[in-house]
Structure 1
Amino acid sequence: FRAFLDGAHEMDEHFRTAPLQKNLPALLGLVGWWHRVICGYPARAVIPYDQRLSRLPAYLQQLDMESNGKSVTLDGTPVTTPTGPLVWGEPGTNG
């Protein structure tokens, strides 16, 4: 678990200091936006490689879909563009 947290800290520092052209979190965010808005992909699969991460898809589903899957703006107006994707998955070890 400590190694997991250390890796998360490393990525936080990378995000904070890396230039945009090499900033992995920013680039992955842009790829996610491209897939949803430009390509029209409605869903994203999260397939952990290890059974110990089996609950990660459910956690990300709750985090992403509740935060980004809105159908109206703050003033109640319906959104006119795609919002966050459907997030689903299972450990790859179940495949």
Structure 2
Amino acid sequence: MPQLLHLVEEYASGTIICTPIKIGINDTKGLRPIDFYHLIWNLWTRLDALDRRASCRFIKNAFPMILENTNEKTIYRKMNDTYVRCTIENIPKDEPLVP
């Protein structure tokens, strides 16, 4: 959790080259790459830190092992407000992240 909070701080400061979290997808307890797209979408819609393309680079830099086989175009395309049932869901911009 401290690493994830540090990533959020780096994102909020507009840092694209962030401190990577070097874990594999098998170590995420069921998370899938789309969960990470939702994570960055939720940050991107709330923080005025990076544009959408830079946000795609950020999330690839943040989770290099998990997203190693995913290109930025795919992240960009899937980084949207379309609802897909996932562990990390897209939360509408006007709703709080925490209930």
Q: Which category of TM-score, normalised to the shorter sequence, fits these structures?
A: 0.3 to 0.5
Higher helix share: 1
Flag the structure with more relative contact order, 1 or 2, with Cα contacts below 8 A and sequence separation at least 6. Answer: 2
Larger Rg: 1
Provide TM-score, normalisation by structure 1: 0.33
